[in-house]
Amino acid sequence: MTKLSVNINKIATLRNARGGNLPDVVKVALDCERFGAQGITVHPRPDERHIRFDDVRRLKPLLKTEFNIEGYPSENFIELVLSVHPHQVTLVPDPPDALTSNSGWDTIDYKDFLIPIIKQFKDKGIRTSIFIDPVVELINYAADIGTDRVELYTEAYAKNYSLNREIAIEDYLLGAEAAVRAGMGVNAGHDLNLDNLYYFSRNVPCLLEVSIGHALICDSLYLGLEKTIIAYLQELKK
């Protein structure tokens, strides 16, 4: 079954809006695990406007499931990942002021930039993944830079799902197949939710993991966190 990694950035955003420690980011992460999530994702940004670097350090020794740290590979980010040593690092091409991830890596133009960074993580036994658009050419180049996995950027799928889901998923099918042929694992994330997750996970081949944050946290306001995580797991199990 495809694993569910819960991105807890929005929990940290809520905490930071008021100050103090409510909600408690660490407690929420542990509760997500207790409710069945198979992983926790965080995306620390340079301004620490949601997840803080200290949150990342506090989480690592307490989590029992897979820990995925995603972010732009700045010097500070690389140092954090190497010191914390998560199960997986997911590299995204976000500039520091980006509201949220909004594109995948251009693995042609950034090949020489990414190769030594990925090697640095892999030499320390950290699985690497890169955020990428479902473009076969870019995915083929991703294999050349040495990444273990690609995370398919699913905003376009989510945006077009209600218009024509068969067309919306076409590029993702081709992208996933290309990744598998090249010997890479396939993750996915961005704007996946209870409406579109089942169709995506049922059709995309060899999907190992989805990382979901915003929609899942929004759903939990109505359903509660435990029922929400159970609902997402059920979509993946169907």
CATH number reported for the structural domain that contains residue 109 in this entry? 3.20.20.70
- What are 153's two structure tokens? 């950027």
**Crossing angle, helix 225-237 and helix 25-34, to 10 degrees?**
40
pLDDT value at 224 more than 90:
yes
Count up the domains in the chain and report the number.
1
- Catalytic machinery residues: 43, 70, 190
pTM beyond 0.85: yes
Segment 207-217, tens digit of pLDDT: 999 999 999 99
Segment 128-137, tens digit of pLDDT: 999 999 999 9
Q: How many helices (H) and strands (E) does the chain have?
A: 11, 8
Nearest-5° angle of CA 161, CA 164, CA 166?
90
> Residue 68: which of 173, 237, 177, 185 has the closest Cα?
185
What's the rounded Cα separation, in Å, for the pair 195 and 24? Answer: 28
Q: Give the three-state DSSP class for 99.
A: coil
Tell me if 3 sits within 8 A of 208, measured CB to CB.
yes
> Residue 198: which of 163, 152, 231 has the closest Cα?
231
What's the rounded Cα separation, in Å, for the pair 233 and 225? Answer: 12
Q: Which domain holds residue 184?
A: 3-237
| DSSP string covering 9-38 | HHHHHHHHHH-TTSS-HHHHHHHHHHTT-S
pLDDT value at 100 more than 70:
no
What's the rounded Cα separation, in Å, for the pair 53 and 122? Answer: 21
